[in-house]
Amino acid sequence: MVKWIALLLQIRWHNILAMAVAQYITAIFLFNKPAAWKEILSDAKLHLIVFSVAFLVAGGYLINNFYDREKDRINRPLRTAIEANIKKSTVLYGYFFFTLLGSLLAFMVSYRALLFFGGYAFLLWAYSHKFKKITLFGNLIATLLVVIPFFGLLLYYDVSNLLIFYYGFFFSWLLFLKETVKDFRYYKGDLVMNYPTVPVALGIIRAGKLLKTYAGIGIIICLGLWLLPFSKTPKILAATVSIAYFYIFIFLRFDENTTTKSKWLLSFLKLLLITGIAILPFLF
């Protein structure tokens, strides 16, 4: 039982579930007509794509834990103690199993899907092995890894819409900000293990100023949802998110207590991301 719990923790099952739900919502409400939801859900290839992404991401989390176990012992000691019930060799076998299964499901869609999601699987490994250790670039890749599955759906349904593209950019910037805040949250472990994240490379104060710059850009992006002829719902979300950006930009100070501040700020940003997924059915 403990080993099964450790496995679920390592593959971040809640993140995978959230991504799967978001993919189905996107396929039904953004890329198709909601009235045809039964027909959409009867498309076997859609399910293959969603489950392919789920298995590939599960493998990605496993290989990420494989490389980061020592750092996680500092940042998340209790959780890592539970996850340590699974041997590193088992983690590797699990990674290969999930990646192979996800690639096989993609091949059942088409060879183009195999090439697309095969590249995605490679990027998941490259991020854990190399890219995440490159200052700033790691955050950009982490954001891209969340967006790629939705881009795959967009290609599958061959959709072109200004709101979808702009909302995707708006959502991606919020993800990018979350990844940056996460670097502050796990600053101690990154510093000890010499991971050159932005706070480690620049220092807390300078990195905080950079985060405020990101927040300022986020406010400008939110204004786009207000000024462009979109529906009311994105405007409501934009107002909520812009308040968060404004708070970071104006009020939040980065000092020795930044780790504590970043903990609740990271939770708040996650809540905004979940809200962004929840309102997808109401965008049009």
The predicted structure's pLDDT at residue 59: 94
The predicted structure's pLDDT at residue 176: 92
**Are 10 and 96 members of one domain?**
yes
The predicted structure's pLDDT at residue 186: 86
Which of 96, 123, 158 lies at the terminal end of a domain, its last residue? 158
**Are 40 and 149 members of one domain?**
yes
Question: What's the distance, Cα to Cα, between the start and end of the chain in Å?
Answer: 45
**Are 134 and 186 members of one domain?**
no
pLDDT of 172 > 70? The answer is: yes
Alpha-carbon torsion angle 278, 281, 282, 284, nearest 10? 140
- Domain residue limits at 267: 160-284
**Are 200 and 276 members of one domain?**
yes
Residue percentage of the chain with pLDDT more than 70: 90
Write down the H helix ranges in the chain: 2-10, 13-25, 37-41, 44-75, 77-83, 88-109, 111-129, 137-157, 162-185, 187-192, 198-202, 204-227, 232-250, 258-278
**Are 8 and 69 members of one domain?**
yes
The alpha carbon of residue 102 and the mean position of all alpha carbons in its chain are separated, in whole angstroms, by 18
**Are 134 and 109 members of one domain?**
yes
* pTM: predicted TM-score of the whole model, two decimal places: 0.87
Q: What are phi and psi of 209, to 5 degrees?
A: -65, -40
Distance (Å, whole) CA 18 – CA 41: 17
Q: Which band of pLDDT confidence, cut at 50, 70 and 90, is reported for residue 140?
A: very high
Q: Which residues contact 173 (CB under 8 A, 6 or more apart)?
A: 214, 217, 218, 221
The predicted structure's pLDDT at residue 277: 78
Q: Residue 20 is encoded by which pair of tokens?
A: 């799967």
Mean pLDDT confidence for 245-253: 69
pLDDT of 2 > 80? The answer is: no
Distance (Å, whole) CA 188 – CA 191: 5
**Are 168 and 78 members of one domain?**
no
**Are 150 and 180 members of one domain?**
no
Cα angle, residue 69 at apex, residues 258 and 214 outer, rounded to 5°: 35
**Are 196 and 147 members of one domain?**
no
**Are 146 and 178 members of one domain?**
no
The predicted structure's pLDDT at residue 251: 61
The predicted structure's pLDDT at residue 258: 66
**Are 56 and 142 members of one domain?**
yes
CATH number reported for the structural domain that contains residue 22 in this entry = 1.10.357.140
**Are 238 and 205 members of one domain?**
yes
Q: Residue 101 is encoded by which pair of tokens?
A: 């299964």
Q: Are 65 and 91 in contact (CB under 8 A)?
A: yes
* Total structural domains within the chain: 2
The alpha carbon of residue 65 and the mean position of all alpha carbons in its chain are separated, in whole angstroms, by 16
Q: How many CA atoms lie within 13 A of 246 on its CB side?
A: 8
Q: Are 10 and 61 in contact (CB under 8 A)?
A: yes
Q: What is the DSSP string of 94-148?
A: HHHHHHHHHHHHHHHH-HHHHHHHHHHHHHHHHHHHTGGGSTTHHHHHHHHHHHH
